[in-house]
């Protein structure tokens, strides 16, 4: 797939072009999806008491919240190749809003588990966001575009840690008890998701020059027949995709795990109340304001200096740093030190994520959606695997974090498998230079017309 008229620069304060309208709409949609996905996490201390959940049962709900996303992400990527991002996102947001609102109907562990499983499907929104920006932006800035939309979307995981306890408190002010309050609070993110689903359909389009249906009618895009399965098989057969699958499991999988356990960890480890624990846990996700974008920016920077090899080398460094900082965080017994180390750890986590998807668009352009889907699914697979550490009665949460840090450090070695042939590197360098030249031309035109 070689779409034309991709943007060569990111103009954050403009909505004039379809590329920038898509940029802002897609990160906001992912933000709300993430907000709803983990909306119940900061309220788990209340839910635990209401439904009388054991540690093992809480661990199972954590696993459920990310398990189904593995499958949905793998499927949603080829679906984007087939029908485009606009329709895929619209339906995902609308249908995903229903279990978010419905989780308040849970009456026992089993129903709560099923609702958390269903909610996990909206985590596939990440793949659509990455796909959509990949087809809208040129090689010289696609790493930054992907990282920024994903990072600002992931910010929903931090904001929900802060906002949902406040929503919960606001609901309680109407005189309801805590056990009803958490149920009513979950309606808020569900309604926001439902509305955004319709907005996405009308505010975006699939590609710079139109929607996929129109492009196929004009002969500018391959026919959709068999497109989904063909792209999926191309991705499955590429070992580099599976290397990135493991790498993304070690960064985004860790972020999902921390989003699920951080508030409870601070509540139990440092004897904090629900609101304070949620506020501190939210700092981890708030680093997404800039940290993931920074990962994408440096991925583009090292690509300019060293080509695709530079992107891979940078990924190795930040992923190794993530593992080391997680091991250190697990050993912090003083609150202020734990918070400080967590912030640095968060920086490395999100830079690793940005660096990973700074590489994804260059693996196989004919199977972009499938590659993004499989790699994105790796994040959830990692979260599922990590979830088993935190459901065991024989392993403390501190020990689980330490073991997780060791596994991340080991996973950084898999970057050696992400290689590109000399021909591919030369072709991508040519495309990168062409995008830079186009950017300079547009900049000169603006100066002349001023």
pLDDT digits (tens, 9 = 90+) for 137-194: 999 899 999 999 998 998 888 789 889 999 999 999 999 999 999 999 999 999 999 9
pLDDT > 90? residue 200: yes
Q: How many CB atoms lie within 10 A of CB 184?
A: 16
Which DSSP state fits 10?
Answer: -
User: What is d(CA 336, CA 168) in angstroms, rounded to the nearest whole number?
Assistant: 26
- At 329-338, the pLDDT tens digits run 999 999 999 9
**Residue 256 is encoded by which pair of tokens?**
């999902």
User: Which residue blocks in 18-141 are alpha helix, DSSP H?
Assistant: 18-37, 44-51, 55-83, 85-102, 109-119, 125-136
Q: What is the pLDDT of residue 198?
A: 97
What fold characterizes domain 18-211+224-419?
A: Growth Hormone; Chain: A; (1.20.1250)
Helix (H) or strand (E) holding 265: helix 239-269
Indicate the average pLDDT of the chain: 92
For residue range 205-254, list pLDDT tens digits in order: 999 999 999 998 988 888 866 666 888 899 999 999 999 999 999 999 99
Q: How confident is the model at residue 436 (pLDDT cuts 50, 70, 90)?
A: confident
Q: Which pLDDT score is estimated for 351?
A: 97
Structure tokens at 337: 């030190």
Is 224 or 291 the better-scoring residue by pLDDT?
A: 291
Residue 164 CA to residue 30 CA, distance in Å, equals 17
Contact partners, residue 357, CB within 8 Å, separation at least 6:
130, 143, 146, 147, 150, 296, 372, 375
Length of the chain: 450
Query: Residue 18 has which token pair?
Result: 């379809």
What's the pTM value of the predicted model, to 2 decimals? 0.84
Q: How far is CA 183 from CA 41, 112, 196, 212, 357, in A?
A: 13, 11, 21, 40, 36
**pLDDT at residue 312 greater than cutoff 80:** yes
**Distances from the Cα of 316 to the Cα of 108, 211, 246, 313, 352, angstroms:** 44, 37, 13, 5, 8
CA 32-368-36 angle, 5° bins:
10
**Domain residue spans of the chain:** 18-211+224-419
Contact present, 71 and 90 (Cβ < 8 Å): no
């Amino acid at each position: 797939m070689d779409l034309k008229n991709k943007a060569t620069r990111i103009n954050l304060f403009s909505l004039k072009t379809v590329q920038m309208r898509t940029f802002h709409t897609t990160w906001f949609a992912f933000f709300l999806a993430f907000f709803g996905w983990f909306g119940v996490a900061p309220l788990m201390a209340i839910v635990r008491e209401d439904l009388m959940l054991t540690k093992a049962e809480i661990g199972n709900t954590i696993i459920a919240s990310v398990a189904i996303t593995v499958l949905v992400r793998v499927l949603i990527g080829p679906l984007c190749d087939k029908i485009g991002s606009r329709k895929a996102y619209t339906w995902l947001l609308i249908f995903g809003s229903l279990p978010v609102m419905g989780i308040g109907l849970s009456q026992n562990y089993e129903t709560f588990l099923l609702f958390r499983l269903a909610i996990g499907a909206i985590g596939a929104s990440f793949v659509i966001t990455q796909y959509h920006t990949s087809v809208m932006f040129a090689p010289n800035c696609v790493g930054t575009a992907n990282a920024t939309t994903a990072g600002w979307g992931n910010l929903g995981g931090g904001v929900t840690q802060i906002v949902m306890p406040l929503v919960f408190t606001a609901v309680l002010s109407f005189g309801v008890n805590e056990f009803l309050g958490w149920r009513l609070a979950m309606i808020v993110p569900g309604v926001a998701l439902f509305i955004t689903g319709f907005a996405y359909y009308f505010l975006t389009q699939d590609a710079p020059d139109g929607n996929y249906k129109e492009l196929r009618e004009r002969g500018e895009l391959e026919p959709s027949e068999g497109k989904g399965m063909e792209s999926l098989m191309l991705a499955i057969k590429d070992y580099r995709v599976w290397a990135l699958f493991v790498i993304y499991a070690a960064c985004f999988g860790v972020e999902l795990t921390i989003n699920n356990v951080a508030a409870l960890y601070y509540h139990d480890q440092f004897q904090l109340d629900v609101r304070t624990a949620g506020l501190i846990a939210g700092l981890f996700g708030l680093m997404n304001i800039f940290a993931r974008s920074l990962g994408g920016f440096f991925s583009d920077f090292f690509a300019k200096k060293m080509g695709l090899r530079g992107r891979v080398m940078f990924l190795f460094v930040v992923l190794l740093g993530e593992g080391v900082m997680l091991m250190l965080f697990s050993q912090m017994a003083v609150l202020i030190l734990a918070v400080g180390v967590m912030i640095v750890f968060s920086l490395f986590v999100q830079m690793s994520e940005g660096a990973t998807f700074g590489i994804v668009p260059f693996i196989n352009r004919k199977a972009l959606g499938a590659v993004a889907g499989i790699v994105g699914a790796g994040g959830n697979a990692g979260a599922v695997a990590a979830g088993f550490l935190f459901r065991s009665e024989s392993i403390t949460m501190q020990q689980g974090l330490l073991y997780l840090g060791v596994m991340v450090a080991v996973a950084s070695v898999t970057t050696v498998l992400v290689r590109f042939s000399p021909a591919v590197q030369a072709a991508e360098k040519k495309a990168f230079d062409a995008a830079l030249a186009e950017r300079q031309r547009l900049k000169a035109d603006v100066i002349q017309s001023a």
